[in-house]
Amino acid sequence: MPTAWLVKGGKAFAVVRFSAGGGNFRRGQETHKLKTWDIHRQVSVKKIRRSEEVTNARALEILRELATSTQLSEEQRKTQDYLEKVVKRDAEDAETLVRQLMEKFGFTRVTAIQLVNLSIESLDELKTVLSYLERREYTDNELREILKLLTGQ
């Protein structure tokens, strides 16, 4: 999940994609496993003032804003390229959907963001994802309501 960091003493945001367990990166032919703290350490900032989980759409918006005022790093360019391909909603719509999922179904912000980012299109996909993200069982009616909200139908 993307996380945005606002750097104290500057306008720049550092955006790095990673999942809860870290992430992978490739150097040559080798694949390296990163833990979350390794990713934090790679970002050269003086002090992180605020950390916030954001949707992919918001991360893309941040990168676009950053690209207008500075040259993006290679990691940021790759992240922007990836997000340009997968983001299907604008940041405002994605955030509205996150709030609706949290209010109507009691999801945590992180779970709601994951559901929005994944662009789930079927009940089977939704059941599979929720089985990993949530500990409770959902009725078929609840699942249909969640899917209806996610797909906009």
Q: pLDDT digit string (tens) for 118-144?
A: 989 999 999 999 998 888 888 999 999
Name the residue among 34, 82, 36, 77 with its Cα closest to residue 56: 82
> Does the domain spanning 91-151 belong to CATH 1.10.3470?
no
Q: pTM to 2 decimals?
A: 0.69
| Cβ neighbours for 72, distance < 8 A, ≥ 6 positions apart | 63, 66, 80
Domain coordinates in residue numbering, the chain:
2-86, 91-151
> pLDDT for 75-118, tens place per residue?
889 999 999 999 999 999 999 999 999 999 999 999 999 999 99
d(CA 16, CA 67): 15
